[in-house]
């Protein structure tokens, strides 16, 4: 998704330079106009805005707060935008540390999947200062369709976790419906045509319905990232007494799939989880 966002920034005429942990994976972006640097310091030292999108909280912490992290090298006044689905508490820590360095920080996780990233129609959830967000809105227009100010630092991440909790239940219901249709030998094309106009319609059905018809497990979003985000959500709820039973049950299925080597499959692969497990256990 980060690569697609870079492409859209380049298409809009912005000068983009960057650093990649695996430079070989950025060769196509270099051809498109990215100025690839050989270190974090070289990439961010003269930047006005820094975007990051990595795997999870541990990567974000190292990238920003590590001994050779971004905050060691940026100039005063730089605006830092982390688009990783990460931890609200870590977003607050980065925000406070950035202020001490004379910088501004926004936590801004995204929704919309690979398709949204490629088409520049992502939805962005922004946490931090509203006035900081206003400064970068022209740049965000290059990668997004919707940008919403959620509140103080960490609130962007909280909203992303809300999104993932909702998505987990939605996905599970859709996949289980198709699993039932497969079990009963229904015409999946007819099923999709029948349920799409009614109350069963949802973003997951729009994104993954055709993929399921084709038996396509390739990710729009890899299921291991959904597991990671749900774990972050439950960590936030620890000690609150609130138990999100539906999304927890969905996560258990996705965790099992990840443990069996399917972490890079698309979330729609849950459709075939039940029948495959029945075969294993029969």
Please state, in angstroms and rounded to a whole number, the distance separating the CA atoms of residues 18 and 12. Answer: 17
Residue 249: closest CA among 225, 264, 270 = 270
Q: Indicate if 160 belongs to the active site.
A: yes
Set 160, 193, 211, 228: catalytic member: 160
- For residue 145, the surrounding DSSP H or E stretch is strand 144-151
Task: Give the DSSP per-residue string, 8-57.
Answer: HHHHTT---EE--SSGGGGHHHHHHT-EE-SSHHHHHTT-SEEEE--SSH
Please state, in angstroms and rounded to a whole number, the distance separating the CA atoms of residues 119 and 128. Answer: 26
> Are the C-beta atoms of residues 167 and 147 closer than 8 Å to each other?
no
Q: Indicate which residues carry an active-site annotation.
A: 160
């Amino acid at each position: 998704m980060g690569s697609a966002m870079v492409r859209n920034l380049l298409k809009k005429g912005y000068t983009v330079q960057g650093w990649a942990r695996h430079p070989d994976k950025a060769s196509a972006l270099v051809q498109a106009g990215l100025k690839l640097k050989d270190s974090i310091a070289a990439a961010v030292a003269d930047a006005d805005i820094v975007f990051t999108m990595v795997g999870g909280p541990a990567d974000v912490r190292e990238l920003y707060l590590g001994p050779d992290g971004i905050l060691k090298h940026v100039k005063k006044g730089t605006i830092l935008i982390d688009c990783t689905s990460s931890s609200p508490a870590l977003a607050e820590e980065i925000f406070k540390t950035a202020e001490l360095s004379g910088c501004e920080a926004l936590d801004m996780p995204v929704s919309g999947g690979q398709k949204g990233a490629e088409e520049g129609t992502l939805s962005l959830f922004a946490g931090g200062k509203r006035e900081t967000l206003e400064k970068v809105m022209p740049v965000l227009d290059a990668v997004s369709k919707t940008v919403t100010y959620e509140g103080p630092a960490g609130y962007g991440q909280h909203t992303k976790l809300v999104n993932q909790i909702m998505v987990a239940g939605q996905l599970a219901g859709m996949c289980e419906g198709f699993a039932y249709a497969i079990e009963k030998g229904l015409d999946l094309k007819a099923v999709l045509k029948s349920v799409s106009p009614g109350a069963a319609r949802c973003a997951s059905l729009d994104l993954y319905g055709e993929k399921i018809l084709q038996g396509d497990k390739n990710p729009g979003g890899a299921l291991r990232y959904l597991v990671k985000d749900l774990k972050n959500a439950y960590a936030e709820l620890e000690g609150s007494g609130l138990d999100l039973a539906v999304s927890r049950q969905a996560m258990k299925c996705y965790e099992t799939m990840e443990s069996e080597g399917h972490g890079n499959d698309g979330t729609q692969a849950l459709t075939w989880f039940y029948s495959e497990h029945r075969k294993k256990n029969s």
